[in-house]
Amino acid sequence: MDYEINGLPMHVLLVHCTVVFVPLAALCTLLSLLWPAARRRLGIVTPLIALLALILVPVTAAAGQWLLDRVDTTPRILAHMQIAGTLLPWVVGVFLVALAQWLWFRYGAAQAGGTRRRMGIAGSRITAIVAVVVALVVCGGAVATVALIGESGSRAVWEGLFRSGAED
């Protein structure tokens, strides 16, 4: 596939989508898990945004690989690629948490009374705390990784190519 649009590498364009949709998926997932009003309003949108983020990551990576074959390889670009290679597992985690929380609150919560009785109050609370901690770790990891990838990519492209102060 040719990863070029109007003479620009598609990676440059796709990166912006990925930078928006991965944190948006993480935010919607956490809001849906922790805030019932947000959960009701977002509904199926949360796992759909997470799915879009999940689709964007490998497409953006493929476009990045295409671009790598057409630029001079530098240590900064290699560092960017190495960090970027760690994003997909985080986004898979965000998607799975988003889907699981949506399925739970859509279909499972109504039938959970028996499970709650068997687990008791303490068991139910521990399970809820574990779910929230897992969601926080996965969503936080995804957002932090996007930030690290963006920072390394910006350095690879821009560091040393502009003046710090304006000329008079």
- pLDDT tens for each residue of 125-142: 787 899 899 999 999 999
How many other C-beta atoms lie within 10 A of the C-beta of residue 113? 9
Q: How far apart are CA 146 and CA 105, in angstroms?
A: 28
Give per-residue pLDDT as tens, 3-31. 889 888 999 899 999 999 999 999 999 99
pLDDT at 1: 80
Distances (CA, A) of 25 to 10, 16, 44, 117, 168: 22, 14, 12, 33, 44
pLDDT at 19: 97
Give per-residue pLDDT as tens, 81-92. 999 999 999 999
pTM: 0.88
